[in-house]
Amino acid sequence: MADKEKVSPLRKLNLIFRFSYTLAFLLASVCGIVFAYAHYDVPIHIAILIPATVLFMALFVNFSNDYYDSVSGVDDLRFKRAAEGNISDSPLLKRIYWDGNPVNNGLVTRKQAKFIMVFLVAVCALLAIPIVLYGFDNNIGWTVIAFGAAGLLISFFYTAPPVNLGARGLGEISVGTSFFLMVFASCFVAAKGEWSYEIFVFAVLIGILVGLMRLVDSMSGQESHIEAGEKSISVLLGLDRMVPLIKGFVVLGYIVAAIMLYFDLTYLLLFLTLPLAIGGWKVLSEKGPYWEVKIAPVMFLTAFLTEVLFIITQVVQVFFTYSLF
């Protein structure tokens, strides 16, 4: 990264908080809210507050992840390996690693990092107060608290010791579970506890795709994780065995997408991500140089665009309905 003195304030904020990476988090919640808004009576302030709370929780996830990866030294090892592979200055690397860990780069000190984490949690708590009160008004208050607590704990202990889910082969599962909850819980809470199989199935789809996104993302720092003593799924299985596993989850994701057609034919739009998936499949099959790095943005875009396409289907369904059965 360029000298931090030459970094503009806006660029510095983006490097510290990785706003682009929070989009998948935010959109997961927006998907649940848009569905609830299209099918149920949802107060506008709740429709705004739930995604806003998720946004700050996502900022906390990313930042705390960077902080504890700095403390453990795994990001130092990751960038060292990248430099040895002569890809440290490539645009591809910067898309994956965001020009480095902000704590390691000196953009923030460790003391400042701790303050930022406390601040982000405080903002989440403040934004959640009206949501919790809304929940109690509709007899789901404790459920709202349970959803929020689960999300916050998974976020913090993803890399925080002594749990460190990401280093124990549970990172991908915890990420997939948290995204499932973001979609489903956002709708469930906004809809005053109304159950919907339709949003449940879509939440499963997002859980699969984002868990897969995290799975391939961890592969790009494989040697660093091994050297740091971390045991992600890719470390436990090895890169060669990851290829059939990834392909299997891609197929599973599209099977779940096909189930969505039971609810409405507009979900055919979800299959517009197929060209991306086919491109990723080719990368996995060819296993060319840095294939484990190149597959990461493909999976990110697949998950991200699936969320965007779902929102589009809800807009279409407001005016047209194409039920298959």
- Would you say residue 255 lies in a domain? yes
Q: Residue 275's pLDDT is what?
A: 95
CA torsion 215→217→220→222, rounded to 10°?
Answer: -40
What is the domain count for the chain? Answer: 1
> Cβ distance 298 to 283 under 8 Å?
yes
Q: Which residues of the chain have pLDDT under 70?
A: 1-7, 73-100, 221-222, 224-225, 228-229, 321-325
Q: Give helix 291-319 / helix 274-286 axis angle, nearest 10°.
A: 170
Q: State how far the alpha carbon of 192 is from the alpha carbons of 73, 177, 199, 254, in Å.
A: 44, 22, 14, 30
Q: Residue 168's pLDDT is what?
A: 76
CB atoms within 10 A of CB 100: 21
- Would you say residue 315 lies in a domain? yes
Q: What is the 8-class DSSP label of residue 262? A: G
> Cβ distance 270 to 258 under 8 Å?
no
- Domain hosting 174: range is 4-319
- Would you say residue 293 lies in a domain? yes
Closest of 169, 135, 168 to residue 149, by C-alpha: 135
- Would you say residue 324 lies in a domain? no
Q: State how far the alpha carbon of 88 is from the alpha carbons of 91, 212, 233, 301, in Å.
A: 9, 24, 25, 22
| 269-312 per-position pLDDT tens digit | 999 999 999 999 999 998 888 888 888 889 889 999 999 999 99
Q: Residue 203's pLDDT is what?
A: 96
Q: Residue 3's pLDDT is what?
A: 47
- Would you say residue 282 lies in a domain? yes
- Would you say residue 269 lies in a domain? yes
- Would you say residue 325 lies in a domain? no
- Would you say residue 137 lies in a domain? yes
Report the sign of the C-alpha dihedral through residues 60, 93, 214, 263, in that order: positive
CB atoms within 10 A of CB 59: 25
Amino acid residing at 301: L
Q: Residue 196's pLDDT is what?
A: 93
Closest of 309, 292, 122, 299 to residue 202, by C-alpha: 309
Number of residues that this document lists for the chain:
325
Q: Residue 252's pLDDT is what?
A: 96
